[in-house]
């Protein structure tokens, strides 16, 4: 049975038995592009697909979908199709009490990696030659089996890829090798074309503050303008707020209309957090080190 | 003091966040004891070093600070039990971030000063001021400081299509 | 037909760049944008639609951030009474030329003009830039995969809204003078007369566009809520659009000089897609749901705006289709209105 058929079968069952009111999955949209799908009726599950263009992190829709809109409302239940990276987001959201575990039926798919251009270009034909390149985050990925799931689609590979066989993060290495002045120049050039469209923030499951600190009407932390210093403040501040929370799906980078390598900031901080605290976001539904007290024996600076 | 072109020596502008219970009191003690230390630091009293959010630090650099000094109680002595634990984890993370963004991490310093450590306070401020002096003015200052008395006349009107913004 | 060779075009643009600000499509780290260039060598390759910038020319008239006023506040003696305010308008200066303007971008000016120029009071900042800008158009040899300019009254070779129109042929660029401003810019330039037919651009399948009055009966459709579920409420579609023109205004502090607090009044791009856009003082928000905001976006373009101001606020450029990360496709929306 193909993954797509398995997903449809499970979705149908969950909707028919009323276990969930909605299944968040993927469908083929216009112009052959994959897009998020919200399925409410069993008859509609045929819309669901699974392929290597299923790039979106659907967990970003969970906090809003599961939040009670009126006090005393019965908690809602949904199912969500996730890849391994997306499943890590579920752990972070659970740790932050965005919803309870029983509200989500997680359909975790063992993924083969997502291709470049997913979501924007026509889905490549299977067996197309040459095979389309995988997104860089997928090339770096060391575990394609979801960490959190109620239903698993696909079998884990016989062997996990060895860390030494995976390509490192060449982009990050290049930045780290620069002098501070070169890095400052690099980021200035990148932020120059940023428009503060906030797509990066909106795509991120962990960016779910009701009012973003950097969008306050009183300009308390950053001015409203779309200028260099404001953009720098926004991006660095957002990266900081995601330290220990970002799970590396890199959707922020995919959605950016200006091709700004925004997830470099997140990857750098993820590396720092791992070095300093031995912690990786999303491996378990526990809070990250920046909101907890020092372990005994840890003394900084 | 504004940085002015043509001859004036650069004096680092330092913003210090001092926690009420330990480091601010320590600073007071330094004053009472008439200890000498550079006057470049402007002190902002906060309840706890754990209150110092990264937004505060970033805004300080954006608004003209050349260095930011965060002083809290020693670990284990925090008035709020573990507020300084937060600072202990936040500040190094923030330093790594600003370094990655091209700003010298030495411009941000976290240290511990207890209420009785007036001399330690003075020494830390002295050291930090010198460090920041050697680093030079912070490149992140968002706009040149207005020239006294003529700010409005000389500040330029908006330009068209430069760096995705309509003003200098 | 009068033509310019590629080399002659380059030399002419180089000369123009010396006298005025020349904005042209140029590659900025893998993205093509209209940016000031110092020479024609910096212009992105012009073949096909590969060099159409991600953003429209709207930036040249209505920048993402614009300073409107400088405000100086002196505090009076004593208890803050007797202080004075000085206001200085900061109108944009300088002339500019935008080269490589696609007909869809140029047509977008109609929607912007209807609001900023033809509605009283006219916007002096926009008006100043409009007056001081010359548009050199570039026809598209073919429509892009998401383009539907022809269906909304424009066309890939439509010279209507530029000052000069260039069309590439194998004999060089055919130059059409459209306005007096264009004629003035050409002064002194020698063009060769050649025989030949004006090339016409290759067209796409037309996209059916619903009549303006077809919209109100669909206001309550469940379609809006359904289509909007995947919307991220970012601002990409509004920002890449040649006609979207909403902005926010705020007074913000500047570094102050002795005795005088300085502020600037700025405006910058805003979008109705955000949850906070329509929230008013007191906290009420008439459009808290994404479906309401999505509906508003399309009603504005095809119903509210033409009803109030005249032009349809869509030029069929297809940028929103290309840029939306979750495949919200304006042609799908329009199809729903057409088929009911």
Question: Do the Cβ atoms of A240 and B104 come within 8 Å?
Answer: no
- Using CB atoms, which chains have 3+ pairs under 8 A with A? B, C
Confirm or reject contact between B97 and chain A (CB < 8 A).
Answer: yes
Q: What is the pTM of this model?
A: 0.93
Contact B70, B110 (CB under 8 A): yes
How high is the ipTM of this complex? 0.94
Position with higher pLDDT, A259 vs C171:
A259
pLDDT digits (tens, 9 = 90+) for C213-229: 999 999 999 999 999 99
C239: pLDDT strictly greater than 80: yes
Mark yes or no for CB contact A221/B55 under 8 Å.
Answer: yes
* Tokens read off for C313: 């606020």
Contact partners, residue B105, CB within 8 Å, separation at least 6: B95, B96, B98, B99
| Predicted local distance difference test score (pLDDT) of residue A83 | 97
B110 interaction partners in chain A (CB closer than 8 Å):
300-301
Contact C63 B166 (CB under 8 A): yes
Query: Is B88 within the bounds of a domain?
Result: yes
Arithmetic mean of pLDDT, A32-37: 97
Give the Cα separation of C22 and C44 in Å (integer): 14
Chain B residues in contact with A229 (beta carbon < 8 A): 62, 140, 142-143
**Could you give the residue ranges of the DSSP H alpha helices within C20-141?**
58-61, 103-116, 124-131
- Residue B62 has its nearest CB partner, among A181, A233, A289, at A233
pLDDT (average), residues A216-220? 89
Q: What is the CATH number of the domain that holds B55?
A: 3.40.50
* Contact criterion met (CB < 8 Å) for B162 and C262: no
Q: Tell me, what's the pLDDT at A300? A: 55
C9-64 residue pLDDT tens: 999 999 999 989 999 999 998 899 999 999 999 999 877 666 789 999 999 999 99
Strand partners, A24: A38, A80
Which residue did the predictor score with more confidence, C141 or C49? C141
Mean of all residue pLDDT scores within chain A: 93
Chains A, B: CB pairs < 8 Å: 111
Contacts of B58 in chain A (CB under 8 A): 221, 233, 236-237
List chains adjacent to chain B, taking adjacency as at least 3 C-beta pairs closer than 8 Å: A, C
Instruction: Decide if A268 touches B, using CB distance below 8 A.
Output: yes
Q: What tokens appear for C129 in the block?
A: 């830039």
**B93·A276 Cβ contact <8 A:** yes
Which 3 state secondary structure label does DSSP give C202? Answer: strand
> What is the average pLDDT value for chain C, to the nearest integer?
93
| ∠ CA A51-A54-A60, rounded to 5° | 155
Task: Give residue-wise pLDDT tens across range A100-129.
Answer: 999 999 999 999 999 999 999 998 777 777
Structural domains in chain C (count): 1
Contact C229 A224 (CB under 8 A): no
- The answer to whether residue B100 is domain-embedded is yes
Torsion sign across C-alpha atoms C265, C270, C276, C281: positive
| Residue-range definition of the domain harbouring residue B137 | 14-154
Tokens 């004053």, residue located: B31
Size (chain C), residues: 340
Quick check: A295 pLDDT over 90? no
Is B60 near chain A, with CB under 8 Å? Answer: no
Find the residue in A nearest to B92 (Cα): A301
In a domain, B168, yes or no: no
Q: Does A237 touch chain B (CB under 8 A)?
A: yes
| Spans of chain B, pLDDT less than 50 | 1-7, 144-168
CB contact under 8 A, C239 and A257: yes
Inform me whether the pLDDT recorded for A154 exceeds 50.
Answer: yes
Binary contact (B165, C63; C-beta < 8 A): yes
Task: Dump pLDDT digits (tens) for C259-307.
Answer: 788 899 999 999 999 999 999 999 899 999 999 999 999 999 999 999 9
Q: How confident is the model at residue A190 (pLDDT cuts 50, 70, 90)?
A: very high
- Interface residues of B toward C, Cβ cutoff 8 Å, are 2, 63-64, 143-153, 155-162, 164-167
A and C: number of Cβ contacts within 8 A = 106
Give yes or no for B6 touching A (CB within 8 A).
no
pLDDT at residue B158 in the model: 36
Q: Which residues of A144-164 are buried (b: 16+ CB within 10 A; e: fewer)?
A: bbbbbbebebbeeeeeeeeee
Torsion of CA B157, B161, B163, B164, to 10 degrees: 110
Instruction: Report the pLDDT averaged over residues A266-288.
Output: 94
Nearest CA to A266 among A175, A184, A180?
A: A175
Whether residue A286 lies within 8 A of chain B, CB to CB, comes out as no
Q: What is the DSSP string of chain B?
A: ----SSSPPP---EEEEEETTTHHHHHHHHHHTT----TTEEEEEES-GGG--HHHHHHHHHTT-SEEEEEEPPTT--TTSSHHHHHHHHHHHHHHHHHHTTS-GGGEEEEE--TT-HHHHHHHHHHHHHHHHHH-S-TT-SSPPPPTTTHHHHSPPPPSSBTTBS--
Return the percentage of chain A with pLDDT > 70, whole number: 98
Contact between A293 and B102 using a beta-carbon 8 Å cutoff: no
pLDDT at C91: 93
- Which residues in chain B are closer than 8 Å to A243, comparing Cβ atoms? 93, 97
Question: Given this model, what pLDDT does residue C80 score?
Answer: 60
Nearest CA-CA distance, residue B61 and chain C, Å: 13
> Edge to edge, what strands does the sheet with B67-72 contain?
B41-46, B14-19, B67-72, B108-112
How high is the pLDDT of residue A124?
75
pLDDT at A206: 97
CB nearest C235 (choices: A35, A197, A224): A197
Residue B138 domain-assigned (yes or no): yes
- Range of the structural domain that residue C96 is part of: 2-339
> Count of domains in chain B?
1
pLDDT of residue A73: 85
- A197 → closest Cβ in C146, C239, C329: C239
């Amino acid at each position: 049975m193909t993954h797509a058929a398995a997903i449809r079968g499970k979705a149908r069952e969950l909707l028919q038995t009323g276990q969930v009111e909605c299944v968040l999955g993927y469908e083929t949209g216009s112009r052959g592009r994959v897009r998020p799908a919200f399925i409410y009726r069993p008859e509609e599950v045929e819309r669901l697909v699974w392929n290597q263009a299923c790039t979106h992190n659907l967990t970003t829709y969970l906090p809003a979908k599961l939040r009670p809109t009126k006090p005393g409302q019965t908690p809602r239940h949904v199912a969500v199709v996730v890849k391994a990276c997306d499943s890590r987001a579920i752990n972070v959201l659970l740790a932050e009490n965005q919803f309870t575990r029983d509200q989500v039926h997680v359909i975790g798919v063992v993924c083969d990696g997502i291709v470049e251009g997913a979501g924007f270009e026509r889905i490549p034909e299977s067996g197309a030659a040459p095979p389309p390149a995988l997104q860089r985050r997928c090339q770096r990925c060391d575990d394609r089996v979801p960490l959190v799931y109620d239903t698993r689609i696909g079998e884990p590979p016989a062997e996990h890829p060895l860390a030494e066989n995976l390509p490192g993060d060449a982009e990050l290495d290049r930045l780290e090798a620069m002098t501070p002045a070169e890095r400052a120049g690099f980021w200035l050039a990148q932020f120059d074309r940023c428009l503060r469209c906030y797509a990066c923030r909106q795509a991120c499951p962990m960016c779910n503050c009701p009012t973003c600190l950097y969008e306050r009407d009183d300009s308390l932390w950053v001015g409203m303008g779309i200028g260099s210093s404001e953009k720098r403040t926004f991006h660095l501040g957002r990266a900081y707020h995601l330290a220990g929370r970002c799970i590396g799906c890199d959707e922020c980078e995919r959605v950016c209309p200006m091709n700004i390598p925004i997830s470099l900031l997140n990857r750098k901080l993820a590396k720092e957090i791992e070095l300093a605290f031995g912690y990786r976001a999303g491996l378990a539904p526990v809070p990250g080190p920046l909101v907890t007290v020092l372990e005994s024996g840890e003394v900084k600076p | 003091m504004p940085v002015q072109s043509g001859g004036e020596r650069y004096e680092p502008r330092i913003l210090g966040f001092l926690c009420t219970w330990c480091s601010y009191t320590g600073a007071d003690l330094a004053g009472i004891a008439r200890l000498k230390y550079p006057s470049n630091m402007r002190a902002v009293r906060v309840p706890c070093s754990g209150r110092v959010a990264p937004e505060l630090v970033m805004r300080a650099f954006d608004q003209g600070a050349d260095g930011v000094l965060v002083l809290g109680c020693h670990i284990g002595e925090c008035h709020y039990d573990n507020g300084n634990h937060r600072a202990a984890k936040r500040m190094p993370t923030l330093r790594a971030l600003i370094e990655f963004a091209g700003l010298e991490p030495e411009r941000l310093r976290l240290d511990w000063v207890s209420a009785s450590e007036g001399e330690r306070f003075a020494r830390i401020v002295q050291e930090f001021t010198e460090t920041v002096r050697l680093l030079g003015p912070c490149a992140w200052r968002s706009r040149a400081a207005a020239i006294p008395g003529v700010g409005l006349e000389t500040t330029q009107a908006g330009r068209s299509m430069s760096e995705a913004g309509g003003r200098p | 037909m009068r033509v310019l060779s590629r080399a002659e075009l380059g030399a002419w643009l180089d000369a123009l760049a010396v006298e005025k600000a020349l904005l042209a499509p140029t590659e900025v780290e893998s993205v093509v944008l209209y940016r000031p260039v110092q020479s024609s060598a910096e212009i992105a390759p012009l073949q096909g639609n590969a060099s159409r910038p991600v953003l429209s020319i709207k930036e040249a008239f209505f920048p993402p951030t614009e300073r409107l006023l400088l405000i100086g506040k002196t505090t009076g003696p004593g208890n803050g009474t007797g202080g004075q305010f000085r206001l200085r308008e900061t109108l944009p200066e300088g002339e500019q030329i935008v080269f490589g303007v696609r007909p869809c971008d140029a047509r977008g000016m109609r929607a912007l003009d209807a609001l900023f120029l033809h509605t009283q009071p006219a916007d002096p900042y926009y008006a100043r830039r409009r007056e001081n800008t010359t548009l050199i158009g570039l026809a598209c040899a073919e429509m892009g995969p998401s383009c539907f300019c022809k269906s909304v009254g424009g066309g890939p070779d439509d010279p209507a809204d530029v000052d000069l129109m260039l069309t590439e042929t194998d004999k060089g660029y055919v130059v059409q003078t459209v306005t007096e401003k264009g004629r003035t810019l050409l002064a002194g330039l020698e063009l060769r007369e050649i025989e030949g037919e004006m090339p016409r651009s290759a067209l796409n399948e037309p996209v059916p566009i619903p009549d303006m009055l077809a919209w109100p009966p669909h206001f309550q459709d469940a379609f809006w809520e359904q289509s909007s579920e995947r919307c991220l409420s970012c601002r990409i579609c509004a920002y890449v659009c040649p006609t979207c023109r909403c902005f926010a205004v705020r007074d913000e502090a500047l570094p102050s000089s002795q005795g005088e607090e300085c502020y600037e009044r700025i405006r910058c791009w805003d979008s109705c897609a955000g949850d906070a856009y329509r929230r008013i003082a007191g906290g009420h928000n008439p459009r808290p749901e994404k479906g309401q905001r999505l509906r508003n976006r399309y009603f504005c373009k095809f119903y509210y705006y033409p009803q109030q101001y005249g032009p349809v606020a869509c030029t069929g450029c297809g940028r929103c289709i290309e840029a939306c990360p979750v495949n919200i496709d304006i042609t799908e929306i329009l199809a729903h209105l057409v088929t009911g």
